[in-house]
Structure 1
């Protein structure tokens, strides 16, 4: 890992010129003390890196220095395969590998193309961290050590032992046969089987993981997209699913449909509003979805849903009915 970091350090200096120890530490995800040790190691190996003193000083390479440093390691090559979403690489614990791989890719370009590519890249922004309303996209936080252990088991075809915290249940250890990894809207999932039954585990709920030497019981090849669709269909058809009748303003129809599991029936009312029969994953999901639409929608049935929304609205009205 240190060898990869030294390569990344040289590439950073080649592509960006003079950088301070603090800036290098931030790019490489290490301490400034580690950067200084790496600089000493590079100098001892004959790499012409030198220090410039002063407020605007830092470290730089002698002009014209070039060496063959662009060989991608396994994780870097893998990171490029999932680089369609930078946060997808983060979800699989490949964020640092992606950054290192991109440095090597840029360095491998002919000099005549390098500046053009950098300029074009500045004109593209993929998956920003906030939307137009400045709402921050919250990605799952999964320790690299855990996701790396799971990833190794998936690729090696070995069983993996995970300490998993399911919703509203105490964490338990379980041994599973990993099938593949999926990331959806910045949330990572492990598709696996346990005692022959399909299981889906959210990576952020895995508290610890250990790759085992025992081979996993799984087919040699898998259609991961199809497997995910099948599990998604079964999830939407769960036992807790509820069906509700709701009136909604046409301007908010897509918002309602986008949160529902399925639309079972639809017709227009005389006043132009739409009457839909829709299903939700459970009662909590139904309350949440209708609450988002405020007065642009009305739950007609079941009664428990109307009561829940009424009680919530009354509690909010009471809170704001008194002076602070």
Structure 2
């Protein structure tokens, strides 16, 4: 496993944004998407007083990042968990509040690069796409067993695929002849199903379908819907949350949670806004920040990244 290929996205921006919250002795930062540990290694190095909790649902990622972070000893605690399990993990560790939370959403470099995982449309592989291969159903099972209407919904909703009906009609026709097992067959089917005009724009024509299947297989959006509010809830006052999203559905969800937290909930027209209606969060980014051209040149996987951050400025009223 080469570490050189794993370049953490917008690393400096993440570190700078979390820095004001992590300088104190005993500060705790949670990396909710540990992956190969690139962001975590940088956090532990830059903030020598901080303790890190790293979550990942992928056991292979935990093993590899464990090797990478071993030199930090008990400053790093790695946990096999999906990131919406954050409240339970913190409770188990006896940590009611943390000072920093980082999410780097989407697929890790390792999952894309390990051919047998079936995430990448550029190489033939079993259609799996589970981030945790010990549980849940594979992408092949979704393709082979879901009713056509449900497949169309998934491609439209999670892949924003305008040609969903054409693709699903072809999938249903082909799966009756022989169930889908590999990614190459699906890529070929998508290429054949799309009209010429649709193939000319937006990179690989299979990209949106693969994204939709991955989100469905891993329940990514429903997990994120629970995880971001839970992370905000876990922040101490002065604590910060930083989130890297890679497609508009994720970014929209993150934006909604952070914007809601930064908005007063007072009924209109109050001359003075009582404490319990004041915003809990302060937004630290204007809209979503994008990676620089230099960073994209160095790391093409940074291209679609959208970065948002916020600071917890008030405790909830009990």
TM-score clears 0.5: no
More contact order relative to length (CA 8 Å, sep ≥ 6) = 2
Please, what TM-score do these two structures have when normalized by structure 2?
A: 0.22
In our comparison, the structure showing a higher alpha carbon Rg is 1
Between Structure 1 and Structure 2, which shows a larger proportion of strand residues? 1
Between Structure 1 and Structure 2, which shows a larger proportion of helix residues? 2
